[in-house]
Amino acid sequence: MDKGGSRLSSGIEVAGLLRRVEASGDFAVVLRKGDADRGAVLLLIASRGRHIACLERILSLDGDYIWQPTGPGEGIGSIEIRDFLENRARFDEDSWAIELDIADPQRFIAEIGLTG
């Protein structure tokens, strides 16, 4: 998956993430569809329904995309996550929100090349 070396469009990045997660037997769903070319991509990562992390794909200073932590931290409830997503949508109408429920979230996070 993209570790910052390429500049995939948001739509292609999301499609790849969905296929990757589903191919491993885990669950993935688009909560909010954003701009297919340049929309921000926000991942809500859970394991067995328990929130683990929020990650956002951002454009780094060197022009590559990287993943960095954002938003609510581990163990936060669904009401706080909903409020976070609603607030983000008000300020960034083009953003994507993707929920991933993954058996081994720490491995997934390491594989996508988290920074920060």
Query: Over the stretch 74-115, which tens digit does the pLDDT of each residue have?
Result: 878 788 888 999 998 898 889 999 999 999 999 999 888 776
Instruction: Give the pLDDT confidence score for residue 69 in this predicted structure.
Output: 93
Which value, in Å, is the radius of gyration of the alpha carbons in the chain? 13
Query: Over the stretch 11-37, which tens digit does the pLDDT of each residue have?
Result: 999 999 999 999 999 999 999 999 999
For residues 57 and 68, what is the distance between their CA atoms, to the nearest angstrom? 7
Pairing of strands 41-47, 96-101: parallel
Q: Which domains does the chain have, with CATH numbers?
A: 10-111 (3.40.1530.20)
Instruction: Give the pLDDT confidence score for residue 1 in this predicted structure.
Output: 44
Query: Over the stretch 43-72, which tens digit does the pLDDT of each residue have?
Result: 999 999 899 999 999 888 888 888 999 988
For residues 23 and 43, what is the distance between their CA atoms, to the nearest angstrom? 17
DSSP three-state, residue 10: helix
Contact status, residue 74 vs residue 80, Cβ threshold 8 Å: no
